[in-house]
Amino acid sequence: MKSVFSLFWSDIKSILSRPYAIFVILVLMVMPGFYAWFNIVASWNPYGNTQNIKVAIANEDAGVDFLGKNINIGASVVENLQENHVMGWHFVSEDVARNGVQMGDFYAAIIVSQDFSKNLTTFLSDEPKKPELHYIVNEKINAIAPNITKKGVESIRDSIEANFISSMYGEFFKQTNLTAEKIQSYQKNISRAREMINRLAKSLPSFHEKLEKGQNGLARMNEILPKIEEILPILSEDLSKIETATEKEIPIDDIASEMKNFVKAQIQIAGFLMDSGIRSLSNIHETAEYYNDKLQPTLNRASQILARVDRIFATFGKMFQSLENLTGKRGIFQPAITRNKNFRTKISNYQATVMRASAALNRGETLSEEILGKVSSGANMILQEYAEFKDFFTETIEPKFEQVTEKFQEFIQKAHDASVQLQAEIPNIQEKIEKISTAAQNGNEKIEKILSHWQEIENAILKLQKISNSISDERIEELLEIMLLDPENEKNFFRHPVEIISESLFSSPNYGSSIAPFFTVLALWVGALLATSMLSVRSTEAENQQKIRAGFVARMMVFVMIGLGQATAIVLGNIFVFHVYIVHPVVLFFTALLIITFFHIFIFSLVYLIGNAGKVLAILILLLQLSAGSGTFPVELTNDFFVKVHPFIPFTYAINAMREASLGMVESIFYYNIFILILMMLIVFFVAFLLAPKLSRVAIKSDNRTKGIDIFSH
């Protein structure tokens, strides 16, 4: 031990006695920091500058007339993108766009085809055509830019899909609303007439009781008769409206037809959505290996589309049940109800499968063949079920809507007949009221006679009540609830069927701070590698005294001391110069000291034991760790070899420990990584310490072979 410290102080004194040596050591301490700082600053907020990525937009869309409106999706895209500064959109012609991408003026181009709107609106036809967005990308310019521009075109596609389909969905609800509102207005007149009659009928028993008691009853009668007379003209007017509506205003034949067309349109919308987002999953097991990094957005989109489709079929379920109740013929719509319920169950189960696959990718896992098989077979099953449901509706359910028309006709006719009867009763009631009023005022009639007249009025009002109650039909009201769904609410759901509630754990204000642990660890390794390249690992004094192990430890201590200076410079620069976000700066500082100590011991030992070949090996290990260390991309996205190597390399634990100190700590994770680093460091040190005398001689002989060769002299 005494020899170790003697040799160590000898090295320190030799450095301190030469100003140039001090300068070189100081430069050696600061230089690795620049490696970290340049990379951190360059990566500070790369996705905040995507507006500088030039993407050409060429709108060739000619537009189309659809549902009484002129629709030009391409023009809408251009209008929206002019307010969108996520990327550097340039609005040009198709020729300029294509040539610009070819020559590298644009990273990518998006061309809206001439028949885009026309094809998009064919989703309601028997032969729908897919609208096409032409995406042209120059992948030679940059490796990352195509991924960013691809996100741009996908967001445009999703926006078009969500906005157009949601608008069409809303339009169909508006059309059913118009018809339903006529029926509802008609029902309101019926309800108001019934309510007035019921209110009169309700007051009759108590009034009759008072009337039997004599004069107080007569006085009370003089109060209530004017009220009855006041209500009767209003009642007559409402009944007249009911009668007129049944003859002219209610489009009975259109009601079932519109409902049938509504269901057909929604089935077509569901097919359009699934063809757009689910069909691509049907062969996912064949392309997963190549497109593994692209599966996440595909699965997320599929999940949203499944939510939209489920919403459509949920409405079907309610409508079919209401129609079943309305027709009064048990079982007429039951097959549709059962098939619809089964289809929704399969959608729900498949959506759960898709979400499990998406969650696995979020955890950085590679999807197994089993999961990919379930996703693929599930997509095929959903598409097959949809096709069968569509055929089933056309062949079996569509003809049954005629019975819905018959039921509506029955209801309307019943209401018409009842209103005519009620209208006929009102003059009789008015006549009786005049008689009883005259008799009560003159006082000529006995109370028994007045009671007799009043009983006739009671009977007439109760008859009105019975007739009015006969035209109440809660089954139609139940159906109207579906037909009167708010179009805006339905549109909003289709735009955003899945609400994302984000909860960020250990978040960072910028990408530079998030990537800083990786670049800091990388700089620490570079610092240790740089030291062994610039300084000698062998002590001449120790070699002369045959104190190999003492010389090994003493010179290693000098390198570690330099390393502590390197770590200090890097960490202080991160904190005070570049203001990297760090949650636990003190912990980070001491973690960096531990890591640099280990790296210097590791690389120093390699060079000491096998000479210059150790420097080469240290560089190879660095390259391996760049791929297997999970510093940038999750290691699960790399080749299986790197996944297997990952647990055995120092970078894995060094980066994890730095992340815990930088972005927020889970103590068990932090201490586990520190423990592994210390364990690795001790193993390396003791193995090197034991092998130093023997392997050192071999290393010296190997290095001496290059002496005398000019190109190796320095």
Maximum CA pair distance of the chain?
Answer: 150
Amino acid code (one letter) for 503? E
Burial bucket for residue 397 (CB in 10 Å: 0-12, 13-18, 19+): buried
User: 436-473 burial, b for 16+ CB within 10 Å, e for fewer?
Assistant: bbebbeeeebebeebbebbebbbebbebbbebbeebeb
d(CA 528, CA 596): 7
Alpha helices in 535-649 (DSSP H): 540-544, 548-572, 585-610, 612-628, 640-645
Residue 499 to residues 492, 494, 502: CA-CA distances in angstroms?
11, 11, 9
- Per-residue pLDDT of 322-343, as tens digits, reads 777 766 666 778 888 888 899 9
**Residue 30, Cβ neighbours under 10 Å: how many?**
15
Q: Phi/psi class of residue 295: alpha, beta or left (left: φ > 0; alpha: ψ in -120 to 50)?
A: alpha
Helix (H, G, I), strand (E, B) or coil at 412: helix
If one counts every other C-beta atom within 10 angstroms of the C-beta of residue 662, the result is 25
Contacts of 640 (CB under 8 A, 6+ apart): none
What pLDDT score was predicted for residue 84?
79
Per-10-residue mean pLDDT, the chain, length 714: 75 86 92 93 81 89 78 82 84 92 90 85 69 85 77 74 62 58 60 62 58 52 58 57 49 62 77 77 62 71 84 82 69 83 91 86 75 87 88 82 69 64 63 59 52 62 61 55 53 52 75 92 95 84 68 89 96 94 95 97 92 90 90 79 92 95 93 96 94 78 66 57
Taking only Cα atoms into account, the Rg of the chain, rounded to an integer number of angstroms, comes to 42
CA separation for the pair 149, 265 (Å, rounded): 34
649: closest CA among 684, 615, 614, 616? 684
pLDDT at 246: 47
Residue with tokens 């007035």: 196
Q: CA 548: distance to chain centroid?
A: 63
- Tokens, residue 564: 């502590």
Cα(27)–Cα(565) distance, rounded to whole angstroms? 10
Pair 284, 295: CB distance under 8 Å: yes
- Terminal-residue alpha carbon distance, the chain: 34
Provide the pLDDT for residue 706. Answer: 65
Pairing of strands 54-59, 88-91: parallel
Residues 6+ away with beta carbon under 8 Å from 262:
172, 175, 176
Which token pair is 400? 């049954």
Return all residues near 174 (Cβ < 8 A) that are at least 6 apart: 487
Residue 54 forms beta bridges with which residues?
88
H helices of 62-211, in order, are: 73-82, 94-103, 116-120, 145-211
Residue 153 makes CB contacts below 8 A (sequence gap 6+) with 108, 110, 133, 135
Question: Residue 55: what are its φ and ψ, rounded to 5°?
Answer: -130, 125
CA distances from 116 to 86, 126, 130, 602, 637 (A): 24, 18, 8, 62, 37
> Hey, is 135 helix, strand or coil?
strand
The neighbouring-strand residues paired with 57 are 91, 110
Please name the residue ranges forming H helices in 278-364.
284-291, 295-327, 334-362
Residue range 93-117, pLDDT digits in tens:
999 999 999 998 998 998 988 888 8
Per-residue pLDDT at 220: 55
Segments making up each domain of the chain, as ranges: 2-42+511-700, 54-142, 170-495
Q: Where are the alpha helices (DSSP H) in 83-144?
A: 94-103, 116-120
54 contact partners, CB below 8 Å, separation of at least 6: 87, 88, 90, 105, 106, 107
Burial class for 134, CB neighbours closer than 10 Å (0-12, 13-18, 19+)? middle
**What sign does the dihedral 651-657-658-659 (CA atoms) show?**
positive
What is the pLDDT, as a whole number, of residue 118? 85
Angle of helix 487-495 relative to helix 295-327, nearest 10 degrees, comes to: 150
Report yes or no: 629 and 646 within 8 Å, Cβ to Cβ: yes
CA angle 328, 386, 123 (to 5 degrees): 100
